[in-house]
Structure 1
Amino acid sequence: MSKTPAKSPGARGSLKARSPIASEEEREQALRDYKVTIEYKHLKSHAPGGVYLIPSMNDLRHFFGIIFVRRGHFTNGIFKFQLRLPPRYNDANMWPEITFSSHVFNPYVDPKTGQLDIKSTYPSWDPTRHYLVTVLTFLKKIFYAKTVKDASANPEAKTLMETEPNEYQKRVDACVRESQKAVFVNETGSTTKVTDEQLAHRVLIDLLKQNVQDPAQVSKAAILSMIDHASKV
C-alpha cells in the first residue's frame, strides 16, 4: 500500500502563514470597495452643478460622465468623459484618472490622450482629504479657469490662452461645436447615453438646482425666464 508523503513542518507552517495574509488583503479590498460606494452616494447631493457621473454596468471603479458648461470660454460645451479608479484607490497617492471622450482644447487636457492632468493641481493624493467630489470639482474648474499657471498637459493651449486670447477662443469654440455635434453619439457600453429628451431634462434640472430652493413651488413663467437668461449668458 502506498503512503501519502508526509508534509514537512516547514510546509505546513508556510501554508498557515499565507492564509491570514490573503484574508487580510481581501478585507482591506472589501473596505476600499465600500468606501467607493459611500463616495458615490455622497455625490448625489454634493456633485458640482452641471456634472453627471454614472457607474458602468460591470466595474465598480469605472464611471461614465458628462459635463454641461454654462458660461466662460467653453459656454454651451457638452463634454463626455470616463473616470477610472485604481484597484487600491483610497490608499495614499492613488489618483483617479479622467479621460475625455470629447475633444477638449484646454491647458489641463492632453491633446493626444484626452487625459485630465490631475497631478498638476494635486501632486499628492490624500484619501483623508480628497474624494470623487474633489476631482469632479477640479474637472469643472478647468472650463472656467482664468489663470493656468500650473497647467502643463497642453502647452499650445496654455500659450495661446496667455498670449493670444482671440486665437485661443477660436480653438475653444471649434471644440465646443464639435462637442455639440457629437452629443448624441453614445460610446459602446456607456451609461450616460443622451437623447434629445434627456438632454432637455438635464438642462432644466441643472437650472432649477442653481436658481430655486424648492422646484415644486416654481412657476412656469419663472422657468421660462431662467431659460431665456441662460441662453444669453
Structure 2
Amino acid sequence: MLVLIYTYQPILVLSVYLKSGEMSDADIDGSESFRRQGSFRKVLPSVPSADSQLSMSAKMIDRPAISNRGQQKAYSQYQQEYSIISEYNMLRKQEFPGIYVIPSAQNCLLWFGVLFVRQGVYQGGIFRFCIQIPEGFPDGECPRVVFQSKIFHPMISPNSWEMDLRSGFQEWRKNVNHIWQVVHYVRRAFYKIETKSPLNQEASELYNKNEDAFCENVKLCVKASQEQVYDLAPTDDLHYISFERYDDERHNPVRESIFKVKDNEDEPSSLGLSWVQPGSLQPFSKPTS
C-alpha cells in the first residue's frame, strides 16, 4: 500500500509499507506485522518574495561583464591558420601543370607563385605572382592576385599589375570558394583570354581588332619574363621561389644520379620465397639449399 502524507509546510513525505493479506485502519495504526521498507524526504524551495527577486536582478545588472575578447581573438587566429593549411592541402591535391604556389614562411596570408605557360599566345612566359589573402579569411572578400612584372593582358591592370577576378568570383562565399579555384582561374586566363570588362583596354581592343599587334606586345612581355627569371629575390623570405643558372659542378652529380641505371634494375625483383621449381607447377618441388 502506498501512503502519501501532505502537510501545509513545504515538505513532502513519502512512506512505503508492505503487508501480505488484507489491511485495515487498525492494522495501519498499531500492527507490528507491517514492515517499513523505506522513505525519502524532499524539501521544496520556498516561494521567493518580490523584493528578493528585484535585489537579485539588480546584482546581476551591476555585475561587471567578463571580457573574453582576447580568448576569442586567439581562437579565431588558430582557426584561420587551420583553414589556410586546409586550403593549401586542397591546392596540392589538384596538381595543376605548369604552376607552382607556396605560402610565405613569414606570413600565412601571402602566397608566392610562378606560372610557366606551355602553349598558346603566352607560350614560354614565366610569370611570378603573389596571392594576397584578406585578414578576415575565410570570411570577407576574395583574395587578390598581383603579378610581379608588367604583363600585356586584358584582365591585368597595366598600372597595379593586379588580375581582375570579378568575373570568376563576384562574391566570395565561405566553404564554397577556395584558393585552389583562384589558382586555376589564374592559369586558365593565359590559355583562354577573355575581354569582358577588361582592366587593360588597349590589350582588349587589340585582341579583338588587331591580333597581330596583340601578339607582338605579348612576345615582348614573354621575353622580359624570361630575362628576369634569375633576378635576385626582392625579399628574404625562405619560401620565395627563386631560380639559379645551371652550374656543372653543382648540378651534374645530381643529374647523373637521376639518369643513372642501377646495376640490378634489369633483374626481376623477388617479392618472397618460392618452393616451386622453375618450369614446374608442383608445389614444394624446388629443392632446399
**TM-score, length basis structure 2:** 0.60
| Residue among 75, 84, 88 paired with 1:36 | 84
Q: Which amino acid aligns with 2:106?
A: N
TM-aligned CA distance change 1:46 to 1:13, over 3 Å? same
Residue pairs, 1:204-219, within 5 angstroms: none
Q: Specify the alignment match of 2:242 in structure 1.
A: 193
Aligned partners of 1:105 and 1:175 also within 8 Å: yes
Say whether residues 1:156 and 2:205 are aligned partners: no
Cα separation, 2, equivalents of 1:22 and 1:150: 46
What's the offset of the Cα at 1:20?
2.5
| Residue among 64, 67, 75 paired with 1:13 | 64
Which structure shows the bigger proportion of residues in strand conformation? 2
Q: Specify the alignment match of 2:188 in structure 1.
A: 141
Q: Specify the alignment match of 2:98 in structure 1.
A: 50
| Residue among 138, 149, 153 paired with 1:102 | 149
Q: Specify the alignment match of 1:65 in structure 2.
A: 113
Q: Specify the alignment match of 2:126 in structure 1.
A: 78
Aligned partners of 2:155 and 2:195 also within 8 Å: no
Relative to structure 2, which stretch is displaced further, 94-103 or 187-196? 187-196
Deviations 1:54-89 (A, max 9, x none): 222210111111000000110000001111111111
Say whether residues 1:128 and 2:212 are aligned partners: no
What's the offset of the Cα at 1:33?
1.4
| Residue among 98, 111, 115 paired with 2:162 | 115
What's the offset of the Cα at 1:149?
4.0
TM-aligned CA distance change 1:22 to 1:169, over 3 Å? same
SS in 2 for 1:28: helix
Deviations 1:86-109 (A, max 9, x none): 111111x42111110022110110
Task: Spell out structure 1 runs of 4+ moving beyond 4 A.
Answer: 9-12
Aligned partners of 1:63 and 1:84 also within 8 Å: yes
Cα separation, 1, equivalents of 2:207 and 2:156: 14
Which structure shows the bigger proportion of residues in helix conformation? 1
Deviations 1:175-198 (A, max 9, x none): 000000001113322510112349
What's the offset of the Cα at 1:28?
2.5
Aligned partners of 1:120 and 1:152 also within 8 Å: no
Aligned partners of 1:29 and 1:88 also within 8 Å: no
TM-aligned CA distance change 1:33 to 1:142, over 3 Å? same
Task: Please list every run of 5 or more consecutive structure 2 residues that lacks an aligned counterpart in the other structure.
Answer: 1-59, 252-257, 262-289
Higher relative contact order (CA 8 A, sep 6+): 1
Which structure has the bigger radius of gyration? 2
Aligned partners of 1:121 and 1:150 also within 8 Å: no
SS in 2 for 1:39: helix
Q: Which amino acid aligns with 1:118?
A: L
What's the offset of the Cα at 1:159?
0.9
**TM-score, length basis structure 1:** 0.74
Q: Which amino acid aligns with 2:157?
A: D
